[in-house]
Structure formats: structure tokens, C-alpha cells
Structure 1
Amino acid sequence: MDEARQQLHGRQWWRYAVAMAVLCAAPFAWAQPQTIRVAGEEWPPYLARALPEDGLTGAMMRAVLGRLGYSATVDYYPWRRAVEIGLRDPRYAGFLPVLRTAEREKLCHFSTPLARTDYVLVFLKDRPVRADNLADLRELRVGTVSGYSYSEQFDAMVARGTIDAEVAVNDETNLRKLLVRRFPVTIVDRHVLRYLLATQRFTPADRERIGTSGGLFPDRTMHLCFRRTAVGQVQQQSFDNAARELDLPKLEKEYWRRIGYDG
């Protein structure tokens, strides 16, 4: 009974807060009654059409929204397009999953963390790359993805031209470039790498050639970026209040088990 009242209170707060924000700010359109709409890019296992509830971050988002009596629709775009639509299109509440940076603080109301990154260097075993710090990458061409943030220090070094980065549209493209020796090293989240290499798009021989090295990039949190509007701020605050009622680490472990992946 107490839990039912708590859920009812959460739903009432969400609707009241959004209604008040709409009265005070620009109009906000839901995708359909009691449904919010977000933009994102395929980035399995964190976000993907083929996975239950659109991947880990999709499942975490839905669990929180469920406390408020809402569901969610995820629309997929290339990363830069997803960011633009999530931030500018009033039909969307925002986009995910996004890493928190000082620059993005100006654009987003960030939700509570929904997952964490684990970036690793990826290279060919017959040409291993070892780096004790980012400065060790200065003599190498590094495969990156357009619009991705790897760490504040790495991003700054690329912007200054200290690190020579070759930009691609996604991680899969970079892995294919690595396999044909387009460059000696790329950077991929460990879970994303494992997921991609397990697909039929890569052969057992491809997988055997790939090596990794960790410890160079700090773990960073992934979030739902709510639009930086009065409505977005109210939604973010309501979302975070609902998230506190859930054991998110437990939900993450349960999701990995659900898809047969230990995370």
C-alpha cells in the first residue's frame, strides 16, 4: 500500500511539474500520452534497437520513468544528428547515452548516471601498443569517432593537434580500419568492443588478431541529457528523484544477466 501511494505521488509530481514548467516555458510536446521521446545512436550494448528495452541505458531509463508512470520511445540517428535533434527539437526530451563534459554542461540538464564507460586501447596483437600515459600516443595515428569524448585531457590534446586522430563515423568502422592497418590503434569502450566482436560481422580470425590495453582512460558516467530548458530541468529533477527509489547497480547486473552478458 505504501509503495502504491509512493508511485502515485511520483506520477502526480511528474505531471504537475511538467505542467507547471510548460506554463512557464516554451511548449513541450510528448510523443504520445505518458510517453517521452529521446534521440540516440546505436552503441550496443548500451543502446541498440536489437536489444531488450534498447540496451542497458534504455532499460535503466525506462525503469526510472516507470516509477513516474511514463514510458519512452528511442529514435536512432548518427551521433551528431542525435545530439542536434535531442537538444533542439521540441518533440524530444533529450538524448542518450552521453558522457558529461564541461562543454556539455552548457547544453544539458544531466540525469543521474545510467552506466559507466571503460575505454581501452585496441590494436593488433602482432603490433602491440603500450602507453603509460597519453603522451605516449603522440607518435601514433589514433582512430576516433566523430563527436565522441574520450577524456578531457585526450580531447584537448586532439584539439591542439598534439595527438593525430583519424575520425570515423562509428566504432565498427574503426575496427575494420585497424584490421587493414589504416592506423595502429583505436579507442573503444571494452563492453562495446566485446559486443561488436561477438557479432557475425567479424570472423573468429578477426577476433584473434585484436588485442587491448586498459588503464589509460578514467571511467566516466553516462547520462540522459535533458534539454536545457525550464521543462528539461523539471524533468531531470523528477527523473533523479525517482531514480533514488531504485537500486540502479542491481538493475544493471540483472540486465547483463538477462542478455547473457556478464558486463
Structure 2
Amino acid sequence: MPQQGKLGCKRFVKQFYKLLLGGVLLCALVPILKADEPPLGIRLTNGHWPPYMEKSPPHYGVISRIVILAFAKHDTPVTYGFFPWSRARMLAQKGLWDGSVAWTCRPEMLKHFHFSDPIVAHNYVLFHRTEMDFHWDNVKDLERYRVGLTQDYNYGEEFEEAVAAGTISADVTTSDQVNFRKLAAGRIDLFPMEPAVGMSMLKELNLSDTITFHTTPLQSDYLYLILSRRVPESEGYLREFNEGLEELRESGQLEELITTSLPDLPVRYLTVEDEDSRCGGSTPGRTDRP
């Protein structure tokens, strides 16, 4: 009997430790939510397009910071995930992330996304070598040049129609940096790029003294926050963002943030002047001014 008692005790101890270990593992796997913890907030995909969007904390680029500050007006924290642009859009479109920053308005995207009010104006200009005497007024003037393009970018309807018709000689690659190197080497004559992004890349490539840009815009548009229609909270988030953005704009904080973050870029390239610049018309949850 005493021997059986010892065996029974050993079995009990083993079972006790198994239960204890199981409890520890369960606690490790299940997150514990506290009442005073902040809400998870909104999750947005992002990409690397400095100085507007970049992977470097704490602000992740000027547009990323504007989005954070606009949502902060409603105490909504923002979490960014950085991906290649095509994947960033796909993850938001499927509702795996709540939305994405920042995109131009495209009609085919409206069935998948709500577009915010415009954040900043978005222009493409034509970069060229500094020694090149270049002037242009319309797309037809570009027919005698070799133009470098980046795959999946939107350069405007008139220009893209000319490329499709073959009247403009286009050399397409998958990298903006490669296009700038080709431009510096004389393999292409022109490269359309957003001026602030272009100047930032030229500094990184040590080509600032070699390449400049013509001030006439090839395309003028706006950059928006997009929110997935598959996410039930999207319209609420959209209302929060638009209200926060309007507060930043009316207080002057938005313009100050842009001009201090992008001191080399003329304000005219960034100012939103068109009251009807919203993508697809009225924005859900927005009360228009009379």
C-alpha cells in the first residue's frame, strides 16, 4: 500500500505540472486586454515615396504624418504597414488592411475604395539634364524625345494616349532610380516625376547638379487617403479623417507642416485650390458647405 501511495503521488505531481504548463502556454498565446489600453485604431498600408511617404520613423514622411495628425483629432491611432505599391493596394482592396496612403483618383478604383478629401496637390513635371535646352507647351512637343517611364504609374490621359499610339518614344522600367540613372547617362531625354520625390531621389543618387526639371506640369492631380469598401468601419473612419484634415487646414497647421517639411518645393505645387477636387464627387459622411 505505501508503494502504491508513492506512485499515486507521483502521478498527481506530473498531472499538476502538465496543467500548470498548459495554463502558462495559454496565457502566453491569448492577449490580455486592459481597460486603460488605447484602441487598436486604423491600419493603413503605405509605401516608400520620400519625402511624402517613407519607412523612417517617427513620422514616416509628410503625408503619413498629416494622416496621423488628422486621425489624432478623434483620438484614433494609426498603424502603418509598408509594402510594394501593388501589394499595398491589393491588401487594402481585399479588406485585409483598412486602407492605404496615398493615391491619385482613378475611376476603376471607386468600386473598391472610398476616397478622402484631397490631402495635397500632386503634379508630375519633366526632368531633364541640366545642359539640355528644353522647353515645351503641349504633348506634341515631346514627340522628338526619348521619355523614360516607370511601370504602373499614371501620367495623365493625353500623354498615355500618345504613348499608346506610338507618337512618343517611351522606355519603360520598374524603378524611378533606374530612370534617373538612364537620364544622367543620356539613354533617355526626359523622365516625368513628382518634383519633391524627384529632388529627394536625385540627392540620394548624387545627381542634383546633373538633372533639373521644367516647371510646366505634365499632369496635375491630388493625393488621397483610400479606405476599403470591404471594411464596415470605413465610412466612420473617412468622416473622422476629413474632419481632422479640415481642422488642420483651417488652423494653418497643414500649410506650415508642408512648407517646413518641403522647403525646396514651391507651395504652388502642393496647394489644394479646387473645391471640387474630391474623387468621384461627394465624399460619404461629409457635410458640404452651402
What TM bracket, shorter-length normalisation? 0.7 to 0.9
The Cα offsets for residues 168-218 of structure 1, whole Å up to 9 and x where unpaired, read as 33322211121122211101111112222233x31xxx3222131121424
Give the TM-score normalised by the residue count of structure 2.
0.69
2:84 to 67, 78, 88: 78
Return closer, same or farther for 1:260/1:98 CA change in 2, 3 Å cut-off: closer
2:96 to 79, 91, 95: 91
* 3-state DSSP of counterpart to 1:120: strand
Query: Which one has the bigger helix percentage?
Result: 1
* 3-state DSSP of counterpart to 2:97: coil
- In structure 1, the residue matched to 2:157 is 152
Return closer, same or farther for 1:166/1:80 CA change in 2, 3 Å cut-off: farther
Return closer, same or farther for 1:68/1:261 CA change in 2, 3 Å cut-off: same
Q: CA deviation at 1:51?
A: 5.8
Return closer, same or farther for 1:210/1:111 CA change in 2, 3 Å cut-off: same
Contact 1:253 1:262 in 2 (8 A): no
Return closer, same or farther for 1:42/1:230 CA change in 2, 3 Å cut-off: closer
- In structure 2, the residue matched to 1:239 is 241
- In structure 1, the residue matched to 2:190 is 185
2:71 to 55, 65, 75: 65
Q: CA deviation at 1:74?
A: 1.7
Deviates more, 1:126-135 or 1:68-77: 126-135
Give the TM-score normalised by the residue count of structure 1.
0.76
**What are the ranges of 5 or more consecutive residues in structure 1 without an aligned counterpart?**
1-31
Return closer, same or farther for 1:163/1:252 CA change in 2, 3 Å cut-off: farther
Q: How many residues are paired up?
A: 227
Q: Does 1:207 align with 2:208?
A: yes
Q: CA deviation at 1:133?
A: 0.5
CA distance in 1, matches of 2:164, 2:86: 17
1:116 to 108, 116, 121: 121
CA distance in 1, matches of 2:203, 2:52: 15
Instruction: Give 2:98's aligned amino acid.
Output: A
CA distance in 2, matches of 1:108, 1:159: 28
Return closer, same or farther for 1:150/1:58 CA change in 2, 3 Å cut-off: same
CA distance in 2, matches of 1:216, 1:256: 19
* 3-state DSSP of counterpart to 1:54: coil
- In structure 2, the residue matched to 1:4 is none
Q: CA deviation at 1:249?
A: 8.0
Instruction: Give 1:196's aligned amino acid.
Output: M
Q: Does 1:222 align with 2:228?
A: no
- In structure 1, the residue matched to 2:59 is 53
Instruction: Give 1:247's aligned amino acid.
Output: R
Contact 1:34 1:69 in 2 (8 A): no
Q: Alignment identity in percent?
A: 26
* 3-state DSSP of counterpart to 2:248: coil
Return closer, same or farther for 1:259/1:237 CA change in 2, 3 Å cut-off: closer
- In structure 2, the residue matched to 1:19 is none
* 3-state DSSP of counterpart to 2:196: helix
CA distance in 2, matches of 1:210, 1:167: 19
Return closer, same or farther for 1:65/1:142 CA change in 2, 3 Å cut-off: same
C-alpha RMSD over aligned residues: 2.5
CA distance in 2, matches of 1:172, 1:237: 37
Return closer, same or farther for 1:257/1:86 CA change in 2, 3 Å cut-off: same
Deviates more, 1:62-71 or 1:159-168: 159-168
**What are the ranges of 5 or more consecutive residues in structure 2 without an aligned counterpart?**
1-37, 266-290
